[in-house]
A = this chain, B = another copy of it.
Amino acid sequence: MVTVHDVARTAGVSIATVSRALSNPSMVATATRERVESAAAALGYVPNLQAAALRAGRTGAIGLLVPDLANPYFAAIAQGVAETAREQGLGVFVVDSQEDPEAEPGLLRRLARQTDGVILASPRAVEADRAVAGTTPVVVVNQTGPRAVAADFASGVHQAVAHLVALGHRQIAYVGGPAASWGDAQRRTALAAEVRDRGADGLEVLLLGVFAPTVDGGESAVDAVAASSATAVVTYNDVVAVGLVRALRARGVRVPDDLSVVSFDDTYLAGLVTPALTSVRTDLRALGRFAARQLVEPTDAAEPLTLHPMHLEVRDSTATPRA
């Protein structure tokens, strides 16, 4: 390995000059700088980031922990994070917990040690997880707590329900996500509030059990949905809706003719499938950018949780209920 010492010897200067010439060129005479640069190039010198990090106390990178890299929801957030990171000259390391809550503390611990700050986009990460990060700053996404950023699920639920009610639906089922998901709890609470507000109009909401936030999870929800008297379904996310719609079709239940479906997230999947899904969206890249900025330069600590707006995108999976 080529070190500053080798470059210094070749260039005929001290190691301090090498360091300066490379990281603070203005502090060095032009001739010297050029000598150092050509020596470094000739030897193929590359700075050891571990050493620089140890010395500087910072690594120049931030981390992002997500539950599932294959879910476009997190890919979109990651893009936002990467944009802001690039502006700041920081690297981004993404780690995937593969929907395994057990593995998260370990992954987070390592990630926190190797970076200057971590964005936790895993819905199951909680207090215990924060502790594991030690002194490394943490910003959580779709969670509550200090330095949290979340989609305004209550508003999203309200828009979804208002849309369905306007179409004439009165019996709505919710196909819920992971038990420990804060976002799922938000959706459930908001649905309960809708029932309170609209109960007089005959609105009924059926909250269905815990399903994996995957295509398979959506498919496995088909029994519960079919057994209910609901004319419309709201799902935890796009991916679940896709699975559910497939399983429904296999049973001869047509969407939206026999059953309307509204999903959350509105990732690109929602517009891809047939029928295209009516879905509640957040600007995820903006969410990612915000989370990253919050990590780099925390704004007002007075506002611990920042909510991002949601908007209903009406497509082809919702219609007036039959008869």
Residues of A within 8 A of B (CB): 1, 44, 46-51, 53-54, 59-61, 68-70, 72, 74-76, 78-79, 82, 86, 91-96, 98, 103, 107, 109-111, 113-114, 134-135, 215, 242, 246, 268-269, 272-274
Contacts and interface: CB of A to CB of B under 8 A. Distances in A.
Contacts of A273: 272-274
Given A69-B69, A69-B79, A110-B61, A242 B54 contact: no
Contact of A44 (B74, B75, B134, B272): B134
Nearest to A51: B54
25 contacts: A44-B134, A47-B113, A48-B54, A49-B113, A50-B50, A50-B54, A54-B54, A61-B110, A61-B114, A69-B69, A70-B76, A75-B96, A79-B96, A82-B98, A91-B95, A91-B107, A91-B110, A91-B111, A93-B94, A114-B114, A215-B268, A215-B272, A246-B272, A272-B272, A274-B274
Contacts of A269: 272
Among A86, A113, A134, A135, find the residue whose CB has the most chain B CB atoms closer than 10 A.
A113
Copies of this chain, complex-wide, total 2
Contact of A50 (B53, B76, B79): B53
Among A48, A86, A91, find the residue whose CB has the most chain B CB atoms closer than 10 A.
A91
A114 B272 contact: no
Contact of A95 (B49, B70, B92): B92
